[in-house]
A and B are shown apart, each in its own frame.
Chain A
Amino acid sequence: MTHDVTQDAELQDLYRELILDHARSPRNFGRLNNPTHAAEGINPLCGDKLKLYLKIDADERVHEICFEGSGCAISVASASLLTETVASLTVTEAEAVIESVTTRLTHGSAVIKNEKLYALDGVRKYPMRVKCATLAWHALHAALSSQNTTATTE
Chain B
Amino acid sequence: MNRPQQSSDFGTAIANCRNDFPALKQSVNGHPLTYLDSAASAQQPTVVIDTVARYQREDHANVHRGVHTLSGRATDAYEGARDKLCKFVNATSRTEIVLTSGTTEAINLVAQSFCRPRFGPGDQILITHLEHHSNIVPWQIVCEQTGAELVVAPIDDAGQIELEALFEMMQGKVRLLAIGHVSNALGTINPLRQIIEQAHQHDIPVLVDGAQGVPHLRVDVQELGCDFYAFSAHKMFGPTGSGVLFGREALLEEMPPYQGGGDMILEVSFDGTIFNELPHKFEAGTPNISGVIGHGAAVDYLQAIGMQDIHDHETALHDYMVSELGKIDGIRLIGTAENQASVQSFMLNDIHPHDLGTILDQQGVAIRTGHHCAMPVMERLGLPGTARASLALYNNSADIDRLTEALEKARRIFG
Contact = CB atoms under 8 A, between A and B. Distances in A.
Interface in B347-383: 351-355, 358-359, 362-363, 369-371, 375, 378
Contacts of A14: 358
B358 A129 contact: yes
Contacts of B371: 47
Interface stretch (A70-78, A83-91, A94-102, A143-151): A70-78
Interface residues of A, number: 23
Interface in B235-250: none
B369 A46 contact: yes
B414 A15 contact: yes
B30 A6 contact: yes
A20 interface: yes
Contact of A47 (B29, B30, B355, B370): B370
Interface residues of B, number: 22
A7 B29 contact: yes
A6 B29 CA distance: 10
A50 to B, nearest CB: 12
B335 interface: no
Contacts, number: 54
Interface string B371-415: 100010010000011000000000000000000000000000111
A4 B353 CA distance: 22
A74 B353 CA distance: 12
Nearest to B415: A20
B87 interface: no
B29 A46 contact: no
B202 to A, nearest CB: 37
Interface string A95-139: 000000000000000000000000000000010110010000000
A132 B213 CA distance: 33
B352 A73 contact: yes
Contact of B413 (A4, A15, A46): A15
B31 interface: yes
Contacts of A48: 354
A77 to B, nearest CB: 10
Contacts of B358: 11, 14, 126, 128-129
Nearest to A123: B358
Contacts of B354: 46, 48, 71-72, 74, 129, 132
A74 B413 CA distance: 14
B355 A73 contact: yes
Nearest to B414: A20
Contact of A11 (B31, B351, B362, B369): B362
B384 A45 contact: no
B413 A72 contact: no
A10 interface: yes
B380 to A, nearest CB: 15
A72 B351 CA distance: 8
A3 B31 contact: yes
Contacts of A3: 29-31
Interface in A1-52: 3-4, 6-7, 10-12, 14-15, 20, 45-48
B30 A15 contact: no
A40 to B, nearest CB: 15
B312 to A, nearest CB: 35
B362 A10 contact: yes
Contacts of A15: 355, 359, 413-414
A129 B370 CA distance: 13
Contacts of A4: 30
B30 A72 contact: no
Contacts of A129: 354, 358
Given A15-B359, A71-B384, A73-B355, 15 more contacts: A6-B30, A7-B29, A7-B362, A7-B363, A11-B358, A11-B413, A15-B413, A15-B414, A20-B414, A47-B370, A72-B352, A72-B354, A72-B355, A73-B351, A129-B354
10 contacts: A4-B30, A10-B362, A11-B362, A15-B359, A15-B414, A47-B370, A48-B354, A71-B352, A74-B354, A126-B358
Interface of B: 29-31, 351-355, 358-359, 362-363, 369-371, 375, 378, 384-385, 413-415
